[in-house]
Chain A
């Protein structure tokens, strides 16, 4: 079974631009979560989608948004990029049910100049 895939793996943008990151979950997984990892703040939860609906949201500004498609693939968008948005963005998927856990993708490394 293929793992969680994220595209692109690396991205360089400039301040003020916007960016869209993509995540394809493990086949059969319907829940997708997004996390931001930075050296200063560590790993922080952004949001979680299930069946195209956002169920949970972390404490990030409205510039960070996401969506999920009917095939469970998810995208996250960051508008008006700031230098502090430079981070590793990780996507995780899970299948609800006891014994299931979140499996993470390799991440997209975003550098904002």
Chain B
């Protein structure tokens, strides 16, 4: 089955860029997501990319996909203290299929 891996912790200074990396194993994953979870809260969909895309940009967020290496990254430009949260990489075959989540990367932003 699908397995999604990501580093567990990342610490950056306010104003710097953050890059969170993720790898997945199932090449049939069509939807690749990034979710954000703040303490005590549910999951907020940040952005997603289809497997036939290389890049997607949405304001401060840039998603890069290397389909050959099954590597996904999320870049947050001008990281702010409000970006401190856990970021989950996830994958699914269809929009309604079960979503397989990575363990989450805890992002700490140092003022």
Q: Please, which residue of chain B has its CB at the minimum distance from the CB of A32?
A: B96
The answer to the question of B43 belonging to the interface, with a C-beta cut-off of 8 Å to chain A, is yes
Is A101 part of the contact surface with B, judged by Cβ < 8 Å?
yes
CA of A105 to CA of B100, assembled, Å:
17
Question: In the complex where A90-B42, A101-B45, A104-B45 touch, is A58 in contact with B104 (Cβ < 8 A)?
Answer: no
Residue A103 at the B interface, CB < 8 A?
yes
- Please encode chain A, from 77 to 113, with 1 for each CB lying within 8 Å of some chain B CB and 0 for all others: 0000000000010101011111111111111000000
Number of interface residues of A (CB under 8 A): 28
Whether A11 is near chain B, meaning CB under 8 Å from some CB there, is no
Query: What class of interface size applies to chain B in its complex with A?
Result: 20 to 34
A96 touches B104 (CB 8 A): no
Q: Within the complex, what minimum Cβ distance (angstroms) separates A64 from chain B? A: 14
Any chain B CB within 8 A of the CB of A48?
Answer: yes
Complex-state Cα separation, A101 to B100, whole angstroms: 13
Residues of the B chain whose Cβ atoms lie less than 8 Å from the Cβ of A42: 101-104
Which residues of chain B have a CB within 8 Å of any CB of chain A? 31, 33, 35, 41-45, 48, 88, 90, 92, 94-104
